[in-house]
Structure 1
Amino acid sequence: MPGLLLGLSALSTATSVVHERRDVTSTNWVKASRVSPSEQHVVRIGLTQTSMEEAHELLMDVSDPSSPNYARFYSADEVAAKFAPSAETVREVQNWLAEGGIAANRVAQTENRGWLVFRASSQEIESLFNTTYHQYHNLATGQKTIACEQYHVSESIQKHIDYVHPGINLGASTATITGIKQKRSRRSLPRQAAPAEGTQGLNVTGCDRAITPDCIRALYKIPIARAPAHPNNSLGIFEQGDVYAQEDLDLFFKTYAKNIPPGTHPIPAMINGAKAPISQESAGPESNLDFELAYPIVYPQTTTLYQTDDVNWAANSSAGLFNTFLDAIDGSYCKYCSNGQCGNDPFLDPIYPDHSPDGYDGQLMCGVFKPTNVISVSYGKQENDLPVNYQRRQCQEYLKLGLQGVSILFASGDAGVAGPFGNSCLGNGTVFSPAFPNSCPYVTNVGATTVLPGHSVTDPEGTPNDYGLFSTYSSGGGFSNIYPIPDYQADAVATYFKDHNPPYPYYEGGDNLGKNGGLYNRLGRGYPDVAANGENIAVYRWGTAGLSAGTSASTPIFAAIINRIIDERLAVGKGPVGFINPVLYKNPSVLNDITNGINPGCGTDGFSTASGWDPVTGLGTPNYPKMLDLWLGLP
């Protein structure tokens, strides 16, 4: 056996190529001893999907307003079939394994067809992948794992393999911290102030002090919603580890939205043992905020609450983010491999059945809920928090949801260019930290604006960093280190650099992070795409009136407006609008341009707003009548 393994290793070196390499290891991970040669491991090889090279063009074909196929979306079954691993992929990888000493009778293909799985010793897999495995220990989380720094596969089958486990993935570098003031796992940070005088019954003349539903309607020219609402157009809102209280919603409706009856509540879509509502004294700031903002815009339309996970995982600081939600709304996501991930990650994601006290003792929910036409998400992390492949797989799922006509909107974050706590800067602590999933080119990012002190709803808004109740809060924005500038955004970003060039050195490409003193990636996808008010928001929590702030507020506002527009389209026999970015970047005049403000961080003033698109407020805030006219005029 040793002689055979040495021969295979030599063959691998001569004919193979590096498939994945980890160039940087977080200081929290300590490399320990090499794994024992005889230790047994479960090896999983993720198989590539078919047609992914076409995916971007397919999405643009149904999202670009100039396309003859605009809004001709695909069914979920059509999308799943389009991208499933091919029979050729399975055959070629199985043959390669057999040549490497892993006999066919040792290899199983998972039910979802995405993985080839086998058991092997460390010696066998080190030879197969021409690498060495070591034990790693995370000083922050206590997690232990095995991993390599790079591994090889045959050049002839590289195109058929997305990812190998165990591989280079170490898991998250730090614990995920949840909580209103703690933002490593960003619920995009709604901030609850002490009870504010004058928050009840304010009219639009006081909107620089408290933003009520009347202020929002006045800012963005939103009329009362048409009745009856379309029955198949509920606004989806994602929540995790934060639950609303019905009593608070009722108090808010009674005070600020008297047309909404007490007891009005979201349609429950409880994922993996999640429960809602909760007692008033335990209510979370994010859920209350989202529904108190969305309902006055969409009512009598409904909202749908996608609440994840059971109480143990929802508050677990080491759990991943969004995978169980995506599993629940798209069964194919549970079953395929993409960019290094097949199914859920055992080191990052919740594991079900959960036999812990109060745990969800059932199987992972897979494809049990139909996604709504619009989904608002006010949570996130930073690109640097999770493996690139983990993020790429989720990004592809947002693309697939766009193909099905679903609009996904994410909050851009609340720490400007810095990331959570303002201390998540990269490199030597000065390089800007882009957010996840905001950097994915197939979601719509929403930044924040504010009514400036002493100004009215008819005046141009600014950004919240220099004004208002929360002096440390600024709208998240910047440029990805993972994704290049998408084609629909290229002209807008080029114009920004040409006419409003930031006063900082830059690097080109995520692989060159910090090179030559650069603070941001000049070639990265820019965000946010749009903005809406996110400062001095009137809320009820724990039975008390107060103020809140954050791009958490901006996102449900913009999402609710898109949902309203879809309702009007449905009323005239048209359908949902899907991925909205290509339409907006071709028609920026339907938004209110914001030219006042910055988003500081990492010891700098961050980026500046400017005429046209900018990485603080994107293309600007909604103008409902103009947006409605635009989309009613499209197929």
Structure 2
Amino acid sequence: MRSSLLQVLAAAATIDVAASLAIPDTLVVHESRNTVTTGSKLAKRARVDKNVKLPVRIGLKANPESEAKAEQWLMDVSHPESAKYGQHWTQDDVIKAFQPTDEAVKGVKEWLTTVIKEDRITHTDNKGWFAFDATTEELEKLTNAKYYEHHDASTGRVLLATDEYSVPASLKQHIDLISPGVKGVQVKATDLATHQRRRGRRQYIEASSNPASSPTNLTTCDVSVTPACIQALYGFKALDPNCKVNKYNSLGVFESGDTYAQEDLNLFYKNFTQYIPQGTGPILKSVDGGHAPVTSIADAGGESDLDFELAIPIVYPQTTTLYQTDDDYYVSQNGAGTGDFNTFMDALDGSYCYYEGGNDKIDPVYPDNNPGGYTGKLMCGVYKPTNVISISYGDQESNFTPFYQQRQCREFLKLGLQGVSIFFASGDDGVGGPTDVNDNGCIGKDKKVFSPASPNNCPWITNVGATKIAPGKSVHDPEVAANDPKGHPYLDAYSSGGGFSNIYGIPWYQKDAVASYFENYSPPYDYYYNGDYNNSATGLYNRNGRGYPDVAAVGDAIAVYKGGNYHTSGGTSASTPIFASLINRIVEERLKSGKGPVGFINPALYFNPHMLNDITSGNNPACGVDGFYAVKGWDPVTGLGTPNYPKMSQFFNSLP
């Protein structure tokens, strides 16, 4: 009887770290741990038994012609000066444009069948993946690899992965990535509490009472940011609660492992708004067993409460749509560095299902018969994406292989082509990443190199950093970059995430802004190029990488109700739904005048920064240094600045 993945982890050989693979003439290394930072905290141990079954996925590259044109296609529909601005694609248009060539499909299949019988191989409907199960012995023979257990002491997870794998030289141009490969497949995980995916601080400063004497009080915004404070900061008013709105223009909000409490939302409305009825909440779009709201207020999720208590007062009577992902069992078992957002994108685009979601065991396989598991089928292409989506979750670039991140980033480009605006929180750890007992959040041999975030590194999404109202200042004074030292007031240090990717180069729409930043305000740190920090003696950041964030919004001292109590909280998790909500309002205005959504907004922002409030004070420390500083123009702390709603509305409504 063959052993299952979860049953067999016995060592088959002693680790020989120095040993190198003898690559046959017909094979070339396709992906290597030497060229990525994935698993920097993983300890390699025993060889994986030859009979362990692995879920193998061969990702095929899109048509080379499509790959070459993809960026231009997105710019055509996104650049405000383009004659094709706003002429977004359908999902069928996208699938047809990006499917691999017949030559690629034929060649890769012929190679696979040298080891795997043809009837064991599934080819996905969109032609992008070959999927099959194989024993470790078969996969190692096919790709000339050696698979080991990799243990993460900080999270308790175990990955089965290889340090490198090879493919035929003639097929390298056609293969995107092979999973599990360097990225690995998870076989054990611990509780989600050790996994710092959420961008929100999830730390709250509880107060005995709300300092605002009324919902419209603006005198205490430096200690408690309410809806009235946000309106005053960015120059907009609440919508007429009786106005007619487009039922198809709901603001999308992603959540996972964290669920809102309706009682908290009701308390927030009662204390801070005069126009939102009790019981108002998001429209639930459950993904693979996700459920909301919580049945007990004691189980309220701080991330979700924060998102909706910020977004709903901005967009109401427009609706919000909650994409609540994954069943209780899977969420409780998921570990760091194992893949985010895949089941969510499965639900939006059925052709993505074979990419990772549900078929890689990095993501769940349904039906899930574990206690609390979702017993239905994997949800593929069941929801049409909303025009605007706010995501306050993320991870670090160093936790995933470049191929994996590039494949997912391409999906964000495809959503942009379809007119979807995607906003990500830039992170709460300055130029570093989340810390734990074994890691200071920085990378490199000496743990001093700045750690870029993911998928914030992707050029095709809009990153939102955080600002704050300085102590003693008002909504009429310039904001500063969010930066709170450890213990003042949060348990951990908090500052607006920002920096430069080690994987992606500077996108063309950002080149002038980044060049101006370096020319006029060059940071006082050594740097390196092309993401090659492993061979840099002293460099701390990548000089020619995609910079982030793109924009910012207030994200500190935010008034919130959680678990029935009033608190103040902070994080770029707060900034992101604020900015996304304002864009959703602009989309509503455009729809009323017979126009379409704005889609990917970065080109419009970078070529028209006058519609934002430039932030020129503050910094984002980590890794033992001050980090970057907010300066005039774009910077890797607060981006181009915070919203000036009247100017943004006027500009986007002037476009076709």
Give TM-score scaled by structure 1 length: 0.91
Instruction: Name the structure 1 match of 2:97.
Output: 82
Larger deviation, residues 407-416 vs 183-192:
183-192
Query: What amino acid is aligned across from residue 456 of structure 1 in structure 2?
Result: S
CA contact (8 A) 1:431 1:514 kept: no
1:79: Cα distance to partner? 1.0
Q: Which amino acid aligns with 2:43?
A: W
CA-to-partner distance for each residue in 1:131-172, whole Å, 9 max, x for gaps?
241332415355555543323322222222122245333357
Q: Which amino acid aligns with 1:531?
A: A
Compare 304-313 and 115-124 and name the one that shifted more. Answer: 115-124
C-alpha change, 1:299 and 1:195, in structure 2 (3 Å) is same
Aligned counterparts of 1:543 and 1:128: Cα–Cα separation in 2: 57
Aligned twin of 1:114: 128
Rounded to whole Å, the distance in 1 between the matches of 2:559 and 2:48 is: 57
Q: Which residue of structure 2 lines up, in the alignment, with residue 58 of structure 1?
A: 73
Q: Distance in 1 between matches of 2:48 and 2:331?
A: 34
Partner of 2:6: none
**Distance in 1 between residues matched to 2:299 and 2:357, nearest whole Å:** 33
Deviation, 1:62, is 0.6
Which residue of 1 is the match for residue 8 of structure 2?
Answer: none
Contact 1:268/1:304 (<8 A) preserved: yes
CA-to-partner distance for each residue in 1:64-108, whole Å, 9 max, x for gaps? 11111011000112112221233222112223445x465656654
**Cα separation, partners in 2 of 1:538 and 1:30, compared to 1, 3 Å:** same
Work out the CA distance in 1 between the residues paired with 2:500 and 2:186.
Answer: 21
Match of 1:5 in 2: none
Which residue does 2:466 correspond to in 1?
448
User: For the residues of structure 2 that align with 1:13 and 1:231, how far apart are their CA atoms?
Assistant: 59
Structure 2 CA distance for partners of 1:437 and 1:175, relative to 1, 3 Å: farther
Please say which of residues 307-316 and 616-625 is displaced more in the overlay: 307-316
- Decide which moves more: 443-452 or 100-109: 100-109
Whether 1:628 aligns to 2:646 is no
1:43 deviates by: 4.6
Distance 1:534 1:117, change over 3 A: closer
In the TM superposition, 1:81-480 aligns within 5 A as 81-97=96-112, 100=114, 104=118, 107-110=121-124, 113-117=127-131, 125-129=139-143, 131-140=144-153, 146-171=160-185, 178-179=192-193, 184-200=196-212, 201=214, 203-225=217-239, 227-278=243-294, 279-318=296-335, 320-335=339-354, 341=355, 343-344=357-358, 346-421=360-435, 423-427=440-444, 428-466=446-484, 469-470=489-490, 472-480=493-501
What is the CA–CA distance in structure 1 between the aligned matches of 2:399 and 2:591, rounded to whole Å?
40
Cα distance in structure 1, aligned partners of 2:127 and 2:292: 35
- Pair 527,223 (structure 1): closer, same or farther in 2 beyond 3 Å: same
- Alignment pair present for 1:515 and 2:536: yes
- 2:542 is the counterpart of 1:524: no
Displacement of 1:223? 2.1
- Specify the SS of the correspondent of 1:239: strand
In the TM superposition, 1:527-546 aligns within 5 A as: 527-546=548-567
* Distance verdict in 2 for CA 1:243–1:77, change over 3 Å: same
Structure 1 CA distance for aligned equivalents of residues 329 and 135 of structure 2: 34
Residues in 1 aligned to 2:267 and 2:496: alpha-carbon distance in whole angstroms: 29
Uncovered stretches (5+) of structure 2, i.e. residues with no partner: 1-20
SS at 2:501 equivalent: strand
Q: Say whether 1:20 aligns with 2:35.
A: no
**Which amino acid in structure 2 is aligned with residue 357 of structure 1?**
P
Structure 1 residues 578 and 87, CA, compared in 2 at 3 Å: closer, same or farther?
A: same
2:587 is the counterpart of 1:566: yes
Letter in 1 for 2:459: P
**Shift of residue 598, structure 1, vs aligned partner:** 0.3
* 1:187 positional shift: 3.4
Deviation per CA, 1:384-405: give whole Å up to 9, x if none: 1223322222211111110000
Distance 1:166 1:308 in 2: 23
2:481–2:617 contact (8 Å) kept in structure 1: yes
Q: Tell me how far apart the structure 2 counterparts of residues 563 and 72 of structure 1 sit (CA, whole Å).
A: 18
Question: Cα 1:42–1:621, aligned 2, differ >3 Å: closer, same or farther?
Answer: closer
**Conserved 8 A contact 2:58-2:175:** yes
CA distance in 1, matches of 2:610, 2:298: 44
CA contact (8 A) 2:125 2:351 kept: no
Distance 1:69 1:513, change over 3 A: farther
Partner SS state of residue 560, structure 1:
helix
SS in 2 for 1:157: helix
**Judging changes above 3 Å, is the alpha-carbon distance between structure 1 residues 112 and 215 closer, same or farther for their aligned structure 2 residues?**
same
Structure-1 separation of matches of 2:442 and 2:191 = 17
CA deviations 1:348-368 (Å, max 9, x no partner) are 222221111121011111111
Q: Identity rate of aligned residues, in percent?
A: 53
The letter for the 1-side match of 2:625 is: T
2:322 and 2:182 map into 1 onto residues whose CA distance is 36
Q: Which amino acid aligns with 1:231?
A: K
Equivalent position SS for 1:447 = strand
TM-score (norm 2): 0.88
Query: Counterpart in 1 of 2:4?
Result: none
The correspondence of residues 552-631 of structure 1 with structure 2, limited to 5 A, is 552-631=573-652
Question: Is the alpha carbon distance of 1:399 and 1:39 closer, same or farther for their aligned partners in structure 2, counting shifts above 3 Å?
Answer: closer
* Residues 215/114 of structure 1: CA separation in 2 closer, same or farther (3 Å cut): same
**What is the CA-CA distance between 1:228 and the residue it aligns to?**
1.4
Residues 97 and 507 of structure 1: is their aligned pair in 2 closer, same or farther, counting only changes over 3 Å? Answer: same
**Residues 506-551 of structure 1: CA distance to partner in whole angstroms, max 9, x if unpaired?**
1111233461211111111110000000111111112222211111
- SS of aligned partner of 1:204: coil
The AA in structure 1 aligned to 2:253 is I
The secondary structure found in structure 1 opposite 2:177 is strand
Change (3 A) 1:480 1:561: same
Amino acid at match of 1:303: T
User: CA separation in 1, counterparts of 2:638 and 2:350?
Assistant: 35
Q: Does the C-alpha gap of structure 1 residues 514 and 601 become closer, same or farther in structure 2, counting only changes over 3 Å? A: farther
C-alpha distance in 1, partners of 2:159/2:176? 20
Q: 1:47 aligns with which of 48, 60, 64?
A: 60
Task: Output the CA distance in 1 between the equivalents of 2:460 and 2:593.
Answer: 27
Greater Cα offset, 142-151 or 392-401: 142-151
Which range is displaced more, 154-163 or 536-545?
Answer: 154-163
User: Does the C-alpha gap of structure 1 residues 551 and 142 become closer, same or farther in structure 2, counting only changes over 3 Å?
Assistant: closer
What amino acid is aligned across from residue 93 of structure 1 in structure 2?
V
The separation in 2 between residues aligned to 1:263 and 1:294, in whole angstroms, is 15
Q: Number of paired residues? A: 616
Work out whether residues 183 and 400 of structure 2, in 8 Å CA contact, stay in contact via their aligned partners in 1.
no
Aligned to 1:338: none
